[in-house]
Structures are given as C-alpha cells and as structure tokens.
Amino acid sequence: MSATLRIYQVAVPAPLYREFDYVASMSLTTGARVRVPFGRRELVGVVLGEVARSELPRGRLKPITQPLDASAILPPSILSLLRWAANYYHHPLGEVIHAALPVRLRQGRAPVAAGVKVWTLTPEGRAVDFQALKRAPAQKHMLEVLAEALDGLDQVQLARISPRSSAVLKALRAKGWVSSHQRELRPVMNGDKQLAPELNRGQKFAVSSLLAGLKGFHPFLLHGVTGSGKTEVYLSVIGEILAQGKQALVLVPEISLTPQLVGRFERRFRLPIAVLHSGLNEQERLNAWVKAAEGNAPIVLGTRSAVFTPLRNPGLIVVDEEHDASYKQQDGFRYSARDIAVMRAAREEIPIILGSATPSLESLKNARQETYTLIELPQRTGCAVMPDVRLLDMRRLKPSEGLSFPLREALTDRLKKNEQSILFLNRRGFSPVWMCYDCGWVAPCQRCDAQLTLHQKRNKLLCHHCGAEAKVIQRCPSCQGENLHPLGEGTERVEEALQKFFPQARIERIDRDSTARRGALEEKLRRVHEGEADILVGTQMLSKGHDFPNVTLVGILNADQGLYGTDFRSGERLFQLIMQVSGRAGRADKPGEVLIQTWHPEHPLFAALARHDFHGYAEYALSERREAGYPPYSHLALLRAESPAPGAAIEFLLAARTLAVRLSPAKDVQILSPLPAPMERRAGRYRAQMLVQSSRRAPLHDFLEQWVMQLSEAKFSKKTRWSLDVDPLDMY
C-alpha cells in the first residue's frame, strides 16, 4: 500500500461506540462527508480528523469510496458540541452526527438549497374585482393576500394562509391570475424593522436586563405569567442581535406553535427566516438548514432538532416554553434540546434565554442558585388581568356527559356575550373504555397492557400506545351479552355533548385526530381568530402559546388525570399543563374565568392554581423532591430493555446489574433493582427498566462510561434491545 495514503477517522451511523479508520490519497477536511464501505453496505459518514496511525494494520484499512464535500459541512463548533452530546448521553457518535443532519445530507445529497418557488399576481389578476368572488372565498382570500405581498409569497408562507393553497393556486393559474417563478436564496441581513409596540414597565426592565448580558455566555430564565408578553421581550432583544449582524436561534416545543411565531417575526422584521420542523418536506428542511449555515437567515426558528443547526454568526439562543417535555427525544439518541442549547450557548459564548410561565423545577433551582439569572414578568400586558379560578367539587356535582351544571351555565353566559370558551380534556377519542355493562369486560389491546379507545367518528377501537385498530365489538366475548357502551369521555364525546347542549354554537375540536391533515390546524386557528368559532374543545395542543383575545372562559375537565401518576414528575406536569391552558382566558380587555372540575379540591396543587401561585407550588414540589432525593437534587439514568419474549428484558437487566456491581461504582452511585416498566407489554414487546441514581453528576457519568462500553461488547446484550436514557423525563 502506498506510503502517501492518509489515515482518517470517520463517524458512521452505526450503533457502535467507536470511530472507524479509513485511508484516502487526497486531503480531507474535518467535518466533511464521505462515502465509505461498511461491511456489505456503503454508508455516508463524517470525517473526524486525520490520525498518524491506526490500531489496525494499514493493509486491513479500507479506502474511502468518495469524498462528498470540499469543505466542512459541520463547523468545528457543532462537531465539538456533538462530541460532547455523545459523551454526555453515552450514545454512539456516528448516530448522534447522523441525527443532527437533514435527511438529504444523510443520503449523500449536495448541500445546495434549491431556489424557492414564489407566487405573484399577474396584471390580469390585479385587475380582478375581488368582491365579485364571494362564491369562491378561498380564491378571493388568496388574491387579497398576494395583492399585499409586492415581492410575492413562497409555498410555505401560502400553506400557512390556507391548507388548500396548492389547489387554489392551480385554479387561479388556470385563469391566468397568478404566476410563479424561482427566487434564488440570497442574504438579507438588515431588513426594515417595523415599529415595535410600547412595552410596559415589566417588559422594559426585562429587556434592559437581557441587553446588559448580551456579551458572552449568560443564561437567563425569563419567568412571565401567561399573557405577560414574553414573545415581545424576545423580539426586542433579537432586534438588537440583528442590528449587530448576528443570527438568533429560537426553539419552540411543538410544530403547532411555529406558524404563529413565524407570523409574529415576519410582521416585525422584513428578514429571511429559516424554519425547521418535521412538518416540512425534506427539500424545505434542507433549504432552511443551508440558509442558516450560510448566514442567509438571520432568524432560525424550529423544534427540537433545530438546536444542531449551524449558524454562520450566532448571537443568541431562545428556548420558548423551556419546561416542555417535547424538548426531550424519547427514542434513539435520547437528548434534551433545552440542555444542549444551554451547552451550545456556553461553548459559543453567547447568551441564552429560557422562557416559560411555568419553569421546570430544574431551571428554577438553577435560578435560585444564581447559575441562571432570573427575570420575572408578574403582570399581563395592557389592561388584562389574571383570570379568576374556581374549583368545582365534583363530589357534590353530578356531571352530564362530563360537563357539570356550573360549567354549562358559564358556557351559556359566554355564548350570550359573543365571547369564546375553551374546554380542555387531555384525552382524544370518544371514550377511553368500551365496556360490557353486564359482566364488566373492557376491550383490551392485544399487543399492549392497555385498553382500546373508542373513536366513534371512525367507528374504530384504537390503541393510543401502539396504534393497533379493531372493529367496534357489538357482542361481549366474555358473557356474549350485547350491553356494550362507552365509559368515560374523550374530546370527541365532549364535542358531541356540546352540540347537544348548544346546537347553535360553532364548535372547533383541536386534537391530533382533527388536525392530522396538513394545514388543518392553521385553518382551525384562523377560524378561531376571525371569530368563526364559539367553543374550542381539545387536548394539550390548546395549552401552549396561543393568544385568543376573545376567550374569556376555560373549563378544565378531568383535572385529576395524572395527579397520582407513578412518575414523580406527574404533579409538576399537571400543574404546568393546567396553568398553561388556564392562561388562555382573559388575555385582552375582557375578564377571564377558569373552572376546574376536580374530585380533590383540597389538594395543594389545586389550591396553588386557584391563587396563580407558581412559586408556592414550586416550593411544595421542591421540598418533596428534596426529601425523596429526586431531581433536581439528584441525577438519574435509566437503562431500558425490551424483548418479544416474556422475562427476557428482566433477565438482561439482571445480567447488566451484575456487570455494574463488578465495576465498583462510587459510593453515592446507586444501582436499583430491575423492574417491569409501568406498562410492561407495549406493541407486542415486554419492557423492563433499571434506575441508576447519584447525588453528583461526575461519578455517575464516570460509571456510565465504563458500564455502557462493557454492555455494548457483552454477549448477553446481543439478544435484547436496550438503550440508556440519561436525565430521563418519562419513567414509563
């Protein structure tokens, strides 16, 4: 083999805790992609650097098949961050890097953003009398929107306006009223900034405090009550970052929040915005990624995986709703986007703002220890005040279809006033149980330790855990009786009940089922904002970030759900969820009211909710955690195992525990006994888990590093699917 060949370490997407050595005759850049042979396959890997020698003889080293990039696709700062993440979460580096790249780059495609198709009105279209199109409201609305957009609108922007944008544009093009052209992506770093609204005293103090910390790494926790104007604070600070020619990365927990935030940013700044979330197609994601990496998008807005997006000139990171569990990836590479965002800000020496009306207890503890700077917005903007909260004692009230009389009375009052209401129930479907009233049999999932949920509109029984479907059983398989009925309420059933109680009301249901079609959520939210809906009923999709000025009533149904869950975080999540959805009421000049239906009105959690007392509840919850030795007063890792064979997962964990004990971990590293998962059988696989706990982070990670490496090489680990979850959020 020629002595001129160079040896390069390459990370490949394989579940192996090592890098692989290859040879090449040309010079390769660290962070560039290459095609390499890997067993019988050819994979796309990323060059980690050149090394002087390999553990393998040079004759056994395979050559790199093809270099894909002339320069680094991952800059040193991102590659270093990914190395840290792989070490912290004890996950193979190749899979971590793979997860951070857009799909088209994982496939070996060129990192080139395609031009954006932009739609504009033709001269014939501008001559149309829009008022004559009353019988074609979708076409009329599209023409009006395009008439105001002198530079045209791309398809992503138009899809936010109407879920039927493609069909509408096709019809308008056939009439010769619109045309499209390709617009090249180009840098625009200094757009026109519209006049910002006047900030109140609390917002001004928050902005001035944040601006004082814009140099270097500075973590802020912005705790503002719902409706306090946190987004306006973000915008004001981002405006200063943009004025310095730098980029801002804004993370949101859910796709549903992205369109309205993009709208806020577009109205405020005439600048390109790179949007990254799973609702886009692969070319749209690649376009956004390239715009951000090349510095052509001053603002990058996205969900969890956007935290890895390269920025040419990073200046600020914002994590909105920082408490939200959606920031934690729950399979594969199980990372927390919030925590990685904090580490990224520290490494790139830029400030980071973590914002929430209900901060996580971990972030609140960091603020109390002054690791983070706490900034509070205790009042709502304008003349809005916090809503009145009433606890409805369901032990004394007989509900009808899940709705108590006081709640139905309050809904009637809002309808008379032409005000809007929200009913929140964190359970989709018609009914969570399909039961025989003669013998008590309930329809089970054949693949999970769970009951099937009735979805009446689809006439199906569905499992919300594995997705299994079954026909609605009309004869009980246990007693052969036909007295089968739904038990309990889901959002479908509440929607049906509302139609019965209030036949004249316009009702919108917002949950995963009703918004599955692309653009459906945006269309529903548009109807709400334009006053075309009277009552909204939905799941936690309604709880986050939405600003409905005419909503004056929020009803919380089945508020006790999750109060006594097996996860020690159940109470915290329930408090955050109810406080967030309660915050949708009374956000403008009309007073708001929140009615919480509960069988446990004396519980401290509900008492704190009635007082809007987040800090009071947090003190109560932190004291419980301190006594029990749970996070944030300890650090956890959860080893999970699953197998189609009963008992195999437990057997694996027992062997893993024996191996762990042999490693002699530090005294304060506790290895608990393995247990079946709270839902042992899921999707036909039997699951078990084992908790590792320590009061100190360093010895825990020292132990995990040795343990995972030996587990990955142990023969017994090849028969069982397993994964390690560092800082687990769900103990399911």
Report the CATH number that the domain containing residue 642 is assigned in CATH.
Answer: 3.30.70.600
Question: With 80 as the cut, is the pLDDT of residue 625 above it?
Answer: yes
Q: Is 356 helix (H, G, I), strand (E, B) or coil?
A: strand
Question: With 60 as the cut, is the pLDDT of residue 657 above it?
Answer: yes
Question: With 80 as the cut, is the pLDDT of residue 185 above it?
Answer: no
DSSP string, 388-432: EEEEEETTS---BTTB-HHHHHHHHHHHHTT-EEEEE-S--SSBS
Question: With 70 as the cut, is the pLDDT of residue 114 above it?
Answer: no
DSSP string, 15-60: S-SS-EEEEESS---TT-EEEEEETTEEEEEEEEEEES--SS-GGG
- Containing H/E element for 537? strand 535-538
Q: pLDDT for 399-416, tens place per residue?
A: 888 999 999 999 999 999
Q: Mean pLDDT for the chain?
A: 90
Same domain, 314 and 205: yes
Establish if 269 belongs to a structural domain: yes
Same domain, 205 and 352: yes
For residue 326, give the nearest of 317, 339, 336 by alpha carbon: 336
Q: pLDDT for 434-445, tens place per residue?
A: 999 999 999 999
- Residue type present at position 28: L
Q: Residue 71: left (phi > 0), alpha (psi -120 to 50), or beta?
A: beta
Establish if 143 belongs to a structural domain: yes
Q: pLDDT for 335-355, tens place per residue?
A: 999 999 999 999 999 999 999
Q: List Cβ neighbours of 358 (8 Å cut-off, separation of 6 or more).
A: 323, 575, 576, 579, 580, 614
CATH of the domain at 14: 3.40.1440.60
Establish if 240 belongs to a structural domain: yes
Question: With 90 as the cut, is the pLDDT of residue 103 above it?
Answer: yes
Say what the pLDDT of residue 441 is. 96
Count helices and strands in the chain by DSSP H and E runs: 21, 32
Cβ(202)–Cβ(228) below 8 Å:
yes
% of residues, the chain, pLDDT over 90:
69
The confidence band for 191, taking pLDDT boundaries of 50, 70 and 90, is very low
In the chain, the number of structural domains is 5
Establish if 436 belongs to a structural domain: no
Same domain, 614 and 506: yes
Between residues 279 and 680, the one the model is more confident about: 680
Distance (Å, whole) CA 273 – CA 258:
12
Q: pLDDT for 68-100, tens place per residue?
A: 998 999 999 999 999 999 999 999 999 999 999
Q: pLDDT for 468-520, tens place per residue?
A: 999 999 999 999 999 999 999 999 999 999 999 999 999 999 998 988 887 78
Question: Residue 603 has what DSSP assignment?
Answer: S
Please state the length of the chain: 732
Mean pLDDT in residue range 323-329: 95
- Determine the angle formed by the axes of helices 570-582 and 614-628, rounding to 10 degrees: 170
Q: List Cβ neighbours of 136 (8 Å cut-off, separation of 6 or more).
A: none
Identify the domain boundary among 334, 358, 377. Answer: 377
- Containing H/E element for 296? none
Distance (Å, whole) CA 472 – CA 479:
16
Say what the pLDDT of residue 192 is. 43
CA 676, distance to chain mean position in Å, is 28
Same domain, 127 and 98: no
Between residues 175 and 545, the one the model is more confident about: 175
- The reply to whether omega before 728 is within 30° of 0 (cis) is no
- Determine the angle formed by the axes of helices 648-662 and 697-713, rounding to 10 degrees: 120
Question: With 60 as the cut, is the pLDDT of residue 47 above it?
Answer: yes
Same domain, 282 and 362: yes
Identify the domain boundary among 183, 215, 235. Answer: 183
The confidence band for 542, taking pLDDT boundaries of 50, 70 and 90, is confident
Establish if 279 belongs to a structural domain: yes
Same domain, 418 and 550: yes
Distance (Å, whole) CA 690 – CA 694:
14
Label the pairing between strands 116-121 and 178-183.
antiparallel
Mean pLDDT in residue range 236-242: 95
Q: Residue 264: which domain range?
A: 201-377
Same domain, 548 and 613: yes
Between residues 283 and 99, the one the model is more confident about: 99
Same domain, 340 and 206: yes
Cβ(28)–Cβ(34) below 8 Å:
yes
CA 293, distance to chain mean position in Å, is 22
Say what the pLDDT of residue 83 is. 97
Establish if 437 belongs to a structural domain: no
Establish if 60 belongs to a structural domain: yes
Same domain, 222 and 370: yes
Cβ(313)–Cβ(292) below 8 Å:
no
Q: Dig out the tokens for 689 from the structure.
A: 């888990």
The confidence band for 190, taking pLDDT boundaries of 50, 70 and 90, is very low
Same domain, 407 and 358: no
Least confident of 419-433, 540-554, 587-601, 612-626: 540-554
Same domain, 644 and 558: no
Identify the domain boundary among 557, 590, 618. Answer: 618
Establish if 442 belongs to a structural domain: no
Q: Is 94 helix (H, G, I), strand (E, B) or coil?
A: helix
Residue 531's φ and ψ, nearest 5 degrees, are 75, 20
Paired strand residues for 484:
436
Tell me how crowded residue 537 is: count the other CB atoms within 10 A of its CB.
26
Mean pLDDT in residue range 682-710: 96
What's this model's pTM, rounded to 2 decimal places? Answer: 0.88
Q: List Cβ neighbours of 82 (8 Å cut-off, separation of 6 or more).
A: 74, 93, 96, 97, 100, 308
Label the pairing between strands 675-682 and 721-726.
unpaired
Least confident of 281-285, 318-322, 433-437: 281-285
Mean pLDDT in residue range 259-277: 84
Same domain, 368 and 392: no
Q: Rounded to whole angstroms, what are the CA distances from 202 to 171, 229, 355, 363?
A: 50, 9, 15, 21
